């Protein structure tokens, strides 16, 4: 009985000793943390100040970037996203500098490694979206296209009304909108009629075989030159192109102010009216398409099957 009692007391003493050691160890640990915090307090305060400083630097860099972009990009959404990206990059640099000041090199390495893995995963998951986003930035800075330009692709044509990070919006002549993904737009050819203020207008016509061809050429060049002023190094070009079924056909090419499809049609409209009026006044025949069937020279025989 005495042995059992002594063993119980010994066990209680050991438990009390272990508890006391654990508490003492915990206090030692807390004391060590407190000493570390006190020692790191200047670095911690400096790190906070650096983050605050980089916050204001990021805001300033964002404003400066928006002003620089304003000269190149008309689309507000592009300017906003560029400002936000600039702010995030500068603030992230400040965060890494603050970690370095606090001697948290291991944490910094872990953050960078984690960011790389997450970035790779996001990039693989959002390949199409990122492609459109990058293409949107490219289009925003290209001088070859901007808001209000008249462009023509393989399938559509119209005015550019919006360029954002996902797509280009075109307003067609029928007032409907066509949405083209940025990556598709960048990878395929398009024609921008707004880049050059002057364009060459082409009008075709035909005159009767009895016409004086030199007189027709001289008159056409003269009246087109009066209707459309040609600048230096510009000239009116006239070419007979073929012997047609009922007329000798020609093309006349001249320069005019033209930045969209409607203006091109208007110049063609004016040129056609001018040519028709002056040809009528000069008795120059613009023949109708004619097909003659001569039954005298070509005997047509219709054979019918007879039933027996």
Q: Return the closest-CA partner of residue 271 out of 288, 252, 284, 249.
A: 252
Angle (CA) 43 48 52, round 5°: 145
Strands 248-257 and 237-243: antiparallel
pLDDT tens for residues 202-239?
A: 999 999 999 999 999 999 999 999 999 998 888 999 99
Cβ atoms of 66 and 83 within 8 Å: the answer is yes
C-alpha 45/C-alpha 113 separation (Å) is 26
Two tokens at 233? 């190094």
Q: Return the closest-CA partner of residue 207 out of 141, 282, 104.
A: 282
Q: What is the DSSP letter of 15?
A: H
pLDDT of 126:
45
Q: What is the DSSP letter of 126?
A: T
Q: Report DSSP letters for 43-109, one per residue.
A: HHHHHHHHHHHHHHHHHHHHHHHHHHHHTT---HHHHHHHHHHHHHHHHHHHHHHHHHHTT-HHHHH
Q: Report DSSP letters for 97-123, one per residue.
A: HHHHHTT-HHHHHHHHHHHHHHHHHHH
pLDDT of 13:
52
Two tokens at 213? 């061809």
C-alpha 73/C-alpha 159 separation (Å) is 17
C-alpha 272/C-alpha 264 separation (Å) is 12
Order of strands across the sheet with 237-243? 198-207, 248-257, 237-243
Torsion of CA 97, 101, 105, 110, to 10 degrees: -40
Angle (CA) 171 175 179, round 5°: 35
pLDDT tens for residues 226-273?
A: 999 998 888 999 999 999 888 999 999 999 998 888 888 999 999 999
Instruction: Walk along the chain (308 residues) and give the pLDDT tens digit of each residue.
Output: 545 555 555 555 555 555 666 666 666 666 666 665 565 666 677 777 877 888 888 888 877 776 776 566 555 656 666 777 787 788 888 777 777 776 665 555 665 555 555 555 545 444 445 565 666 666 666 656 777 888 888 778 888 888 776 778 889 888 898 888 877 777 778 888 888 888 899 999 999 999 999 999 999 999 999 999 998 888 999 999 999 888 999 999 999 998 888 888 999 999 999 999 999 999 999 988 766 665 555 554 544 444 44
In terms of DSSP H, where are the helices of 142-259?
182-187, 213-227
């Amino acid at each position: 009985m005495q042995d059992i009692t002594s063993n119980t007391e010994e066990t209680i003493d050991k438990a009390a000793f272990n508890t006391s050691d654990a508490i003492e160890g915990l206090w030692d640990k807390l004391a060590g943390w407190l000493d570390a915090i006190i020692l790191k307090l200047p670095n911690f305060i400096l790190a906070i100040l650096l983050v605050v400083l980089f916050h204001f630097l990021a805001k300033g860099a964002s404003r400066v970037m928006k002003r620089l972009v304003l000269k190149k990009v008309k689309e507000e959404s592009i300017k906003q996203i560029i400002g936000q990206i600039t702010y995030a990059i500068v603030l992230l640099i400040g965060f890494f500098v603050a970690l370095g000041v606090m001697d948290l090199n291991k944490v910094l390495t872990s953050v960078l490694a984690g960011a790389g893995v997450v970035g790779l995963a996001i990039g693989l998951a959002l390949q199409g979206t990122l492609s459109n986003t990058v293409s949107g930035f490219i289009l925003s800075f290209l001088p070859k296209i901007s808001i209000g330009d008249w462009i023509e692709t393989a399938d559509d044509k119209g005015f550019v009304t919006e360029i954002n990070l996902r797509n280009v919006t075109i307003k067609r002549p029928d007032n409907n909108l066509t949405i083209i993904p940025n990556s598709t737009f960048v990878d395929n050819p398009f024609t921008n009629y707004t880049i050059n203020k002057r364009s060459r207008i082409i009008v075709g016509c035909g005159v009767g075989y009895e016409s004086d061809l030199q007189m027709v050429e001289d008159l056409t060049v003269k009246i087109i030159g009066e209707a459309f002023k040609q600048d230096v190094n510009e000239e009116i070009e006239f070419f007979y192109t073929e012997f047609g079924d009922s007329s000798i056909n020609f093309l006349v090419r001249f320069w005019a102010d033209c930045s969209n499809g409607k203006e091109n049609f208007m110049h063609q409209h004016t040129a056609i009216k001018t040519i028709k009026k002056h040809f009528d006044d000069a008795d120059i025949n613009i023949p109708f398409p004619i097909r003659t069937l001569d039954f005298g020279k070509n005997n047509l025989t219709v054979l019918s099957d007879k039933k027996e």
